[in-house]
Structure 1
Amino acid sequence: MLEMKNQSWGEDYFFESSPSEPVRRFRLAGQQAIKLRLKAGDKLCIVSQDKVQNCELIVLDSQGKSAPELLDPRKPVAALAIQQQLQQNGSAADKLRNQLASWQLDATHLEQVLSVSGSEAANFKAISDLTVVVAAAGAKMAVDEQNPVTEVDITITYADQTECPLPEPLGPIKTELRIPRASARTYEVKKGEWIQIIDVSGKQCSDFVAFDKQALDQGIEIPLDATSTRTVIGLSNPVPGLHSRFLGTDLLSMVEVVQDTVGRHDSFLLACTPKYYDDSGYFGHISCTENFNRVLAPFGIKPRAGWPAINLFFNTAIDASGAVFMDEPWSRAGDYVLFRADRDLVCASSACPDDIDPANGWHPTDIHVRIYGAEQQFPRAIAHRTTSEELPRMTKASGFHSRTSELTKKFIDYAGYWVATEYNGWGANAEYLACRERVAVLDLSALRKFEVVGPDAVAFLQYVLTQNVSRMAIGEIAHSAICLETGGMIDDGTIFRMGEQAYRWICGAEYTGVWMREKAQQKGFKVSIRNATEQLDNLAVQGPKSRELLSEIVWTSDSQPSVEKLKWFHFTIGRLGGPTGIPVMISRTGYTGELGYEVWCHPDDSPTVWDAVWQAGQAYDIAPMGFDALDILRIEAGLSMADHEFSHDITPFEAGTGFSVPLNSKQEDFIGRAALARQTPESRDKLVGMILEGGDAAAHGDHVYNGRFPVGIVTSATYSPLMGKQIAMVRIAPDFAHIGTRLEVGKLDGQQKRLAGQVVKLPFYDPKREKLLS
C-alpha cells in the first residue's frame, strides 16, 4: 500500500531531481505553500495543471525582508488568495497559518506579493540570492460550488549545480551515510528507528541484508529470509499496509516496509556474486556478495558464496512459464524505500557494481541511507503516477479516515487512497447483511471528482461522454462511459448537472481528468476541467433504512427536494442537522443495488458527518462496510467494475453498460461512436450471469468453456450469501450467451477441473430494480 515516487516532503508537495541537468521539479497541492531558496541566476517556472489556479509569491532577501524586485520587476500587490484562506476555519487554513509563522512571515509580508495567473506558465529569474514562498492558496470549496483550489507544478533550473541533489529529509535525521558506487556499508539501528534507502541518481540497485543484533552478540546469525517472508505473508514482496513485513529465519518480523516510491524490487534472487561475473567472462569483477562478506566480517558473520538479499530497485519478475527476467530499474533520482526496524539490527546496504547488463541502467551510481529516530512518525504510503512523466502521488487518507481507522486496521491502497476491506467485529458477511437488511456506511472518497464548467460544457461533454447530457435537468445525475476511438472504455462514472453549463463528473481514474483536458485543448472547447477530489469526500449510506436515517439528520430548504422526495439518480443540497448546519450534498446513488444515498461534504466536515450518520444509525443497527462486502453487493447487483467488466479493449455493450450509450437518441458525434455503431448486437460478446453448482469458487480471469475450448471469461465472481451459491459475471460469445445455456468454468489448466453452471440474466439480485427504485 503506497504512493509516491521521487521524493516527498509530506502529503502536500512532491519533489524530483534530475541526474543529468541541474533541475528540480515540485508539485504543490492546492491550499498549500512551499518555501524555496534560489541563488542568483536560478530560474523558476510555475505552471497551473488546469490553467486556472493562480499563485502568490512572497519573495524575501537575505535579511528576511520582502523584496519582490529580486525576482520580478512588476509592481507587487496585496495577497488576496492567502488572506481568503487564512480567514477561514479548517485544516488548510490552520496549516498555512502555522507555516507562515514558522517561516517568520507576518501581515506586512502579505502586503507585497507577486500574483501569478494560472492561464499561462510564469517564468522568473533570480537577480540575487533569495527565498521565495509559493502559495497555491484559496478558500475551501463548498459542496454546491465548483471552484476548487488545485495543484501547480514548479520547476527550478539551477545556474550552478554539479551533482544530483538529494531529496529533502522526511524529518530530523539521526544519522546518514553515503554508499559509493560498487561498494557496501554497514550500520546499526535500534528497534523502532526508520531506515530510508535512497537511489541518488536513479536506476541503481541496492541490496539490503540485516541481522538480529541481540542474536549476533550471542554468536547466532538470524538474517532476513525471503522464503520465510513470502511463505508467511503470501506475497512475493512485502508492500506498505497489511503485508508489510520482512521476516527473519526465526519467522519473526525484522523490518516493516512503510513507504515505497518504486514498487518494483525483488526478494527471490541473490545479490550479485563472483560466479555470475565469472560465468559471463568478467573474471575478478567486484560483486555485492564480496562487498558484503568484507563489511560484515567484523561482526563475526561468516562469508557466503552468495547473499540472499532484498534487492531494492532491482527490476526483475517471473513470467507465466516461471522464467526470471530483468530490465532497467523503474527508480528515478530520489526514489526510496522507508523501513522501520522491528528489533535491534545490524544492517548492510550496497550500491550494486553490476555494469554488464541493464540492472543498474548500465551505469552504477551511489546509494544514500538516512536513519530517523524512533520518536518520528511517518505514514504508510505507496507511489502512483497518473502519467509516466509526472511526479509521484502518495497514498492519501480521506477525511473519514480518523473514524474508520478506529474500527479497523485492514486497509488497502485503492486508486491512491486507503480504504477499509472489512471491520473488526463485523466482517464482510455481516457488513453485507447490514446493507441488504438495514443500513451500512462506506467511505467512497477515493472516487475522483472533476468540475466541468464553461460556455462549451455541454458541447464538450457530448463529445467525450457516451451519455446524452443535453437531455439532463439541473439536479439530475446520469451514468456514462468514456471511450477511446476504438470503442473500448477508459472509465465510467456519473455526471451531475449542477447548472446550465456546469457539471460535476465522478469517476474512478485520476487519468480521466488528464485525458479530458487534452481533448478539450485539442478541439478548442471553452471549458475548464478542475480536479475537486481533495475538496469533496463522499460517504455512501446504503440499505433499506437509509432514507429513514438521512431524513432524520438532513435539512433542506423549500427550494430543494427533501431526502424523502429525492428521486433515483438525482441530488439535493442541504445541511446537517438544521438550517445552520454543515453544508452537504445528498445524491440518490450507490454501488450496491439497494436503496441508497451518498453524502458529499468538505473533508474538514467529514468526521462530523460520520458521527451524525453513525449516531443516528444506532437505532437501525448500522454497520460500517468495507470493500470486501461492497464487492459481493455489486456483483449480485450486476454492476461493472474497471479492469474486471471493462477495460480499454472492452466496449460498454460488452461490459454490460450499453444503457449509457444512446446511439439512437443522441445525434451528436462522440469519441468511439463510429466504432460502437459498427459493432452489431449480434456480433458482441455479452455480459451475463452464471450460477455455479457446488461450493468451488470461480475467479476473475478464469475461462468459461463449452467442451474443450473457451467461449468466454469470468469477469467477477463471489459467493452470494443471499442465494447460498457461487455466482459469477461472465463475458460470453453471443452464440453461448442465451439464458439457460450450460457451460463450465475451467480451473487449474482449464481442462483438469471444471465447475458446472448455467447462464442467467443479470442482475442476480432484485432483477426488476424494485428495491433500488423504491
Structure 2
Amino acid sequence: MDASLLPPGPSPTAIPRERVVVRGGGMAALTLGAGDRMTVLDPEGLQPALVFVTETDAVEDWEGAGVETLPALLDQGGEGSAEVARLLAENGFAPASLAGRALLSRDGGAGATADVAARADVLVVVAAPGGPMSPDAQDAPTDLIVTVTRARGRGRPLPAPLAPPKLDVRVPAAEARAYTVKAGDYIQIIDVDGRQCADFLAFDAAALEKGEEFGLDAATTRTLMGAAYPGPGLYSKYYDERQLPLVEVIRDTVGRHDTFALACSAKYYEDMGYPGHANCTDNFNAVLAPLGIRERAGWPAINFFYNTAVDHTNAITMDEPWSRPGDYVLLRALTDLVCATSSCADDIDPANGWEPTDIHVRVYDGAENFSKGIAFRMSADAEPRLTRESAFHQSLAAHTRNFVEYRGFWLPTCFTGEGPIAEYWACREKAAVMDLSPLRKFEVTGPDAEILLQRTVTRDMRKLAVGQVVYTALCYDHGGMIDDATVFRLSPTNFRVVCGEEFTGAWLRTKAAEWGLNVHVRASTDQLHNIAVQGPLSRDILSEVIWTGPTQPAITELKWFRFAVARLGGPTGPALVVSRTGYTGELGFEIWCHPKDGKALFDAVWAAGAPKGMKPLGLSALDMLRIEAGLVFAGYDFCDQTDPYEAGIGFAVAEKDEDFVGKAALARRKANPARKLVGLVIEGNDAVGHGDPLFVGRAQVGDVTSATRSPILKAQIALARIDVAHAATDTAIEIGKLDGHRKRIGAQIAPFPHFDPQKTKVRS
C-alpha cells in the first residue's frame, strides 16, 4: 500500500509514516529523530536530489561534498524555499552551515530511491534542483517524494507553522478548548493524525460583553452562500443569525465537512446504548461556562473534517473523514471572536476512523498574508496542492475579481464591465485572450518515445511530423476514455502531451515500465503556462509581437495543428512555442512560455490586441464557444465509461496496424454502437444542464452532456448522448425536469457541431 494512503480500520497512528512532496526546482525541510528513516523517490526519472543536514554525525553513512550550496539554491526562490529559510532562521541555523550531498543523480530512472537514516535529532533539507525550462526544451525539474518512517514509539510531528503563531493550542482527543481571536487574525485548525473531526464554534466577542450570544449559524450561512460548506474564494464566509459574517475561509486542504448537523451530544450516545459517553456538546459547555455562555443540549457547530452527506433518500449518512495527517482549515476572524474547538469524542462509528485523536489550533497575526486556496488532488493518492495562480493571474486580475478554482488554479469566470456575452462576441468577431495554464503537460522523451505513444494513443504517431500537433484520445482496455490530448512532436524522439488529467502522465509511465521501454515521461505543467489568442484578428495581433527564426514558419504561415518555436518581440526576447490550436471553433493560437515570462507575454499581446477590440475571455464565455463548436469536455461529454465514438471524436481513432491499448474494444464498440453524441436545439428558454435525462415517451433514451444559450444561433443548444435508435437528425425528443416526467422540455436532434461544421474558420 502507498504510504500516503490511510488503511481502513482503527489506529491511524499505528503506521508512523509521513509523505512530503518536494516540488521540481524547489525544496522542503523536515526533522528526523534517532531511528527515523527517510526515503527519497524520483517517480519520473532524471531528477537529481540534494540533501542538506544541520549535523552530519546525526546521519548514518554520511558522505558529503561537491554539491551546490544551500544559499545558492535558496536564492533561486523555488517552491518551498521561503518556508525553508524561515524554518532555519527560527532554529538558529545559517543556510551555509548545512552540509550537503547528492542523494540521487541526474541520470536516474523512474522509481529511483535512496535512504537517509538518523542517529540523532537532525533538521534535513531536501532539494529537487533545476532551472527554468525553455518552452522548446524538455528538461523540466520534477517532483521528488519523501517518505519518513518514524521509529516505533515516536509520535507524528505537527506540520511546520505557516508563520510565527500567536497561539499554539493542543486539543487532546475527546476534549475541547476555548480561546479568543482578534479581528483580522487567522485560525488554523489542524487534524494531527488524520480522520479526526473537529467541531468549531465562534461568537461575536463584543456582543458577548453586552450579554448577547451571536454565534455561527449554519442555516443562515447555507442560505446566503448557496453551498453546503463555503470554500475559499468570493463566497467563503460563515455568518451568525443577524446575517453578519464572523469568519472567512482562507484555505481548506480537505474540501469535505459538515455544516448541517449538531456536534455530538449526550443524547446521541444514550440512544446508541452508551450513557455517560464523552461528547463534544458537554465538552463545549464545560469550556464556555467560565465565559458566561449558556449551556445547550446540542451545539450547532461547524464540523470540520466530518464526512457526512445527504443521500438520494434524504437520509444523513457518514463514513470515515477524508482528512489526512496534517490537513487543515485556515480561517480569518472578521471581528473579535470567542472561539471553541473540540476533538470529536465519537469512537462508536466511522466518524473519527473509530479512534479519536488530537486536534491542534494555531492563531496567526492578521499582518500575515496567506494565499487563498483549496487543496486539489489530481488522483486519490496524490498529495494535496493549494490553488495557485498562473503566470497571467495578476494581469487578468486587473480586469476582474471573478475567479474560481479550476484543476488547481484560479481562473476567471468573466470580466468586470464586459461579461460573458461581450467576451463571446469579441472572440467570434474580433479576438479574445484566455488563460489555459491548468492544462497538464508531459515531456515524453527517449529512443522509445514514439513506440510508447503509438501503443497508448488512438492516433498514428508514426505519421506525425516534427512541428505537427495532433488531437487524440487515450483509452483503457475496455475502450473507455482516460483523457483526450494534443500531442506535439518536437523531434524524432521527443513529444509533448498536453491534456487535462495528471493521471495521464502516471499511466503513460506505468505502461512504459510494463513494456520495458527506454522512455521518460516527465511533468512540465509548472514550467509551461499558456494563453490562447482566438478570433478572426488573432493572426494579425500575434504577427505584431511574435518573432520566428528563418527556419521556422512565421505566424502568417503557421498551418492548422502546427507549431513554431518563437520569441517575443524579436530574436533576443523570451522563448515561446506558438501552436495553431484552440478550443473555440475560431481561427486561433496558443502561446506557451515559462511562467517567469508570463507577464511580459500578456502585456505585449494586450498592447497589440486591445486597440483592435480584443477582450479577455473567461470560463463562462468559453463554455458557450466550445459547445457551439462541438468540442468535448472531460467529466461532461466523456468519462471512463465513454468510448471516443460515443464522445463524438471517433475521427481521432486511427486505422493503424499496430496494437494499442483499447484497440480490440474500440473495434467491437464501433461495429456495435449503442449511443451517439448528438446536437440538440431546445424549445423555449427553460434552463437545461448536464445530466438532464432525454425521453421518448416514458422511456429514457439518453442524457444531456453540456448545454448553453447560443448567442449566434439565438437558441438554447446542447450536446447529448443518446441511444442510436433515436439519434437521427430532426428526431423530436423531450428533456425531463423535476422527476423527469412532471416537466418536459421539447428538443430536436440537430447537426453536430452546431457552429461551422466544416471548420472553415479554424482552417482559415
- Bucket of the pairwise TM-score, normalised by the shorter protein: over 0.9
Separation (CA, whole Å) in 1 of partners of 2:360 and 2:415? 39
Q: Which moved more, 1:629-638 or 1:403-412?
A: 403-412
Separation (CA, whole Å) in 1 of partners of 2:362 and 2:739? 47
One-letter code aligned to 2:647: A
SS at match of 1:296: helix
SS at match of 1:564: helix
Cα shift at 1:73 = 4.9
One-letter code aligned to 1:113: R
Candidates 612, 627, 640, aligned match of 2:619: 627
Mapping 1:219-234, distance limit 5 Å = 219-234=211-226
1:199-231 CA-to-partner distances (Å, cap 9, x unmatched) read 122221111111111111111111111111111
2:636 corresponds to 1:644: yes
Match of 2:8 in 1: none
Mapping 1:578-727, distance limit 5 Å = 578-662=570-654, 664=655, 666-681=656-671, 683-727=673-717
Unmatched tracts of structure 1, length 5 or more: 7-16, 62-66
Cα shift at 1:40 = 4.4
Candidates 22, 27, 31, aligned match of 1:33: 27
Contact 1:394-1:416 at 8 Å conserved across structures: yes
Match of 1:735 in 2: 725
Contact 2:58-2:121 at 8 Å conserved across structures: no
One-letter code aligned to 1:694: G
Mapping 1:14-33, distance limit 5 Å = 19-33=13-27
Candidates 272, 276, 282, aligned match of 1:280: 272
Separation (CA, whole Å) in 2 of partners of 1:279 and 1:726? 53
Alignment CA distance shift 1:432-1:281 (3 Å): same
Contact 2:730-2:749 at 8 Å conserved across structures: yes
Separation (CA, whole Å) in 1 of partners of 2:213 and 2:518? 67
Separation (CA, whole Å) in 2 of partners of 1:215 and 1:75? 61
Match of 1:79 in 2: 68
Separation (CA, whole Å) in 2 of partners of 1:75 and 1:258? 41
Q: Which moved more, 1:129-138 or 1:368-377?
A: 129-138
One-letter code aligned to 1:196: Q
Q: Which moved more, 1:568-577 or 1:129-138?
A: 129-138
One-letter code aligned to 2:514: Q
Contact 1:635-1:728 at 8 Å conserved across structures: yes
SS at match of 2:425: helix
- TM-score if structure 2 supplies the norm length? 0.94
Contact 1:263-1:383 at 8 Å conserved across structures: yes
Match of 1:51 in 2: 45
2:185 corresponds to 1:193: yes
Match of 2:751 in 1: 761
1:446-465 CA-to-partner distances (Å, cap 9, x unmatched) read 00000000111111101111
Contact 2:695-2:733 at 8 Å conserved across structures: yes
Separation (CA, whole Å) in 1 of partners of 2:254 and 2:733? 42
Aligned length: 749
- TM-score if structure 1 supplies the norm length? 0.93
Contact 2:48-2:102 at 8 Å conserved across structures: no
SS at match of 1:727: strand
Separation (CA, whole Å) in 2 of partners of 1:316 and 1:124? 41
Candidates 479, 491, 496, aligned match of 2:483: 491
Alignment CA distance shift 1:141-1:202 (3 Å): same
Candidates 492, 497, 502, aligned match of 2:494: 502
Cα shift at 1:75 = 6.2
Mapping 1:445-524, distance limit 5 Å = 445-524=437-516
Candidates 338, 352, 362, aligned match of 1:360: 352
Alignment CA distance shift 1:656-1:523 (3 Å): same
Cα shift at 1:101 = 9.8
Match of 1:12 in 2: none
One-letter code aligned to 1:288: C
Cα shift at 1:130 = 4.1
Structural RMSD (CA): 2.3
Alignment CA distance shift 1:711-1:298 (3 Å): same
Q: Which moved more, 1:175-184 or 1:365-374?
A: 175-184
Mapping 1:246-265, distance limit 5 Å = 246-265=238-257
Mapping 1:208-227, distance limit 5 Å = 208-227=200-219
Contact 1:719-1:727 at 8 Å conserved across structures: yes
SS at match of 1:121: strand
Alignment CA distance shift 1:708-1:23 (3 Å): closer
Contact 1:264-1:330 at 8 Å conserved across structures: yes
2:42 corresponds to 1:42: no
Alignment CA distance shift 1:674-1:545 (3 Å): same
SS at match of 1:114: strand
Contact 2:420-2:617 at 8 Å conserved across structures: yes
Candidates 524, 530, 547, aligned match of 2:522: 530
1:10-42 CA-to-partner distances (Å, cap 9, x unmatched) read xxxxxxx97224433211001112334434443
Match of 1:113 in 2: 101
Separation (CA, whole Å) in 2 of partners of 1:188 and 1:59? 39
Contact 2:74-2:85 at 8 Å conserved across structures: no
Contact 1:450-1:529 at 8 Å conserved across structures: yes
SS at match of 2:40: strand
Separation (CA, whole Å) in 2 of partners of 1:58 and 1:73? 11
2:321 corresponds to 1:329: yes
Separation (CA, whole Å) in 1 of partners of 2:620 and 2:397? 16
Contact 1:428-1:625 at 8 Å conserved across structures: yes
SS at match of 1:275: helix
Separation (CA, whole Å) in 1 of partners of 2:275 and 2:84? 62
Separation (CA, whole Å) in 2 of partners of 1:101 and 1:357? 42
Cα shift at 1:668 = 0.9
Mapping 1:342-491, distance limit 5 Å = 342-491=334-483
1:480-515 CA-to-partner distances (Å, cap 9, x unmatched) read 101011100010010000100110000001111111
Contact 1:82-1:138 at 8 Å conserved across structures: no
Contact 2:683-2:747 at 8 Å conserved across structures: yes
2:737 corresponds to 1:747: yes
Contact 1:59-1:113 at 8 Å conserved across structures: no
Separation (CA, whole Å) in 2 of partners of 1:741 and 1:39? 71
Separation (CA, whole Å) in 2 of partners of 1:87 and 1:377? 21
Alignment CA distance shift 1:74-1:222 (3 Å): closer
2:562 corresponds to 1:570: yes
Identity of aligned residues (%): 48
Match of 1:14 in 2: none
One-letter code aligned to 2:101: V
Unmatched tracts of structure 2, length 5 or more: 6-10
Separation (CA, whole Å) in 2 of partners of 1:703 and 1:188? 51
Contact 1:467-1:661 at 8 Å conserved across structures: yes
Contact 1:277-1:285 at 8 Å conserved across structures: yes
Contact 2:644-2:650 at 8 Å conserved across structures: yes
